């Protein structure tokens, strides 16, 4: 080897060594699960799975796990109250279809339970995910508060699920939560709580309340203090009423929400509003509206006209609502499972 060639190789070597290595490429997402995927547990009423109740399958799941534990719940009506303890982390429920896998209960204020004791499914474990399931509370309109699903956990997501109830159907109590392609049915305050929550591309349907009620409200947000970064956000949803609401006289007034607490915050954006939405849009609770943040942006449909809205409701700008997207409000790109479709930004 000549001295010239040695010098050239030496120059190349030291030149390369002096450069910092390129940053590692991000790991690719794993492929989506196939139909042959193996579940960690299978619940089946006919005995064809590992367990015959959801509660038994949950009890068998590891505690405080960093790995996702997936429970398939086969078709059937599961009459049980399911409690996902805070140490049951990263649990996934996979049903066989919104109207095929049904978890049902009927606890209510009217039968002697406190509101937070009525939930058919009560979630406290971080990272919970559910897909293709109906969760219902069948107590009825006259039984007052009767929760179908209560959530007190972070990074909880529901996809293609139905929440079927009357008053207080969906209790987004606290934490960070995302709902996509879901259906929610109820009468009074049936999406409520103080979580950071977005319902995206969901169907929200008002049912007939008990006969003595002539006003119903969809949301009741529970933000107590100005510094709390919480809100109920309806994005790209369809908000309508059932046929039974259209028929009775006198007409039932339907409002987008009322302020449960002094700093309540709710946003309805890029959604379709049925003609049964009251022209005022929102209604007072205790008379204090000074610190309420109720706003609308880019909605459509016969109920979206802002001309008759209450003076304390806000017409929001694109800049305003950019703070309430999946990316900016929930940081959903960091935790929502890749199997769940989502719009990270404005629609």
Active-site amino acid positions:
189
- Cα–Cα distance measured from residue 93 to residue 198, given in angstroms and rounded to the nearest whole number: 20
What phi and psi, each to the nearest 5 degrees, are found at residue 315?
-95, 110
- Cα–Cα distance measured from residue 56 to residue 39, given in angstroms and rounded to the nearest whole number: 15
- Cα–Cα distance measured from residue 185 to residue 241, given in angstroms and rounded to the nearest whole number: 9
Decide: helix, strand or coil at residue 260. coil
Helix, strand, coil fractions of the chain, as percent rounded to 5: 15, 35, 50
What phi and psi, each to the nearest 5 degrees, are found at residue 4?
-65, -40
| Edge-to-edge order in the sheet of strand 191-193 | 82-84, 121-123, 149-152, 170-174, 191-193, 215-221, 253-259
Q: What is the 3-state secondary structure (H, E, C) of 11-62?
A: HHHHHHHHCCCCCCCCCCCCCCCCCCCCCCEEECCCCCCCECCHHHHHHHCC
b/e map of 251-271 (b: 16 or more CB within 10 Å)?
ebbbbbbbbbbbbbbbbbbbb
- Cα–Cα distance measured from residue 201 to residue 180, given in angstroms and rounded to the nearest whole number: 6
- Name residue 151's beta-bridge partners: 123, 172
- Cα–Cα distance measured from residue 110 to residue 139, given in angstroms and rounded to the nearest whole number: 8
* Pair 57, 88: CB distance under 8 Å: no
Counting Cα atoms < 13 Å in the Cβ hemisphere of 258 gives: 17
Task: Using alpha carbons, select from 215, 158, 216 the residue that is nearest to residue 185.
Answer: 216
């Amino acid at each position: 080897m000549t001295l010239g060639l040695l010098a050239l190789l030496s120059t190349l070597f030291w030149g390369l060594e002096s450069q910092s290595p390129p940053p590692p490429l991000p790991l690719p997402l794993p492929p989506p699960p196939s139909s042959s995927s193996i579940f960690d547990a299978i619940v089946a009423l006919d005995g064809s799975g590992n367990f015959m109740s959801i509660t038994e399958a949950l009890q068998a799941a590891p505690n405080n796990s960093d790995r996702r534990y997936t429970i398939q719940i086969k078709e059937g009506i599961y009459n049980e109250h399911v409690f996902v303890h805070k140490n049951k982390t990263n649990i996934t429920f996979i049903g066989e279809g919104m109207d095929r896998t049904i978890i049902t209960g009927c606890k209510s204020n009217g039968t002697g339970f406190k509101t937070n004791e009525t939930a058919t499914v009560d979630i406290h474990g971080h990272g919970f995910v559910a897909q293709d399931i109906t969760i219902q509370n069948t107590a009825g309109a006259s039984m007052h508060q009767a929760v179908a699903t209560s959530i007190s956990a972070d990074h909880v997501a529901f996809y293609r699920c139905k929440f079927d109830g009357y008053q207080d159907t969906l209790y987004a109590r606290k934490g960070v939560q995302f709902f996509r392609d879901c259906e929610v049915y109820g009468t009074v305050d049936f999406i409520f709580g103080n979580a950071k929550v977005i319902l995206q591309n969901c169907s929200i349907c008002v049912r007939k309340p008990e006969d003595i009620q002539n006003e119903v409200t969809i949301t009741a947000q529970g933000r107590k203090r100005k510094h709390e970064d919480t809100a109920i956000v309806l994005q790209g949803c369809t908000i309508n009423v059932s046929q039974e609401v259209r028929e009775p006289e006198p007409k039932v007034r339907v409002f987008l929400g009322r302020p449960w607490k002094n700093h309540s915050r709710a946003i309805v954006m890029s959604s379709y509003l049925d003609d049964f939405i009251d022209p005022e849009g929102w209604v007072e609770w205790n008379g204090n509206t000074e610190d309420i943040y109720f706003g609308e942006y880019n909605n459509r449909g016969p109920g979206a006209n802002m001309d008759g809205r209450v003076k304390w409701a806000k017409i929001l700008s694109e800049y305003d609502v950019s703070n309430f997207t999946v990316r900016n409000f929930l940081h959903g790109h960091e935790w929502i499972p890749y199997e769940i479709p989502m719009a990270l930004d404005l629609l």
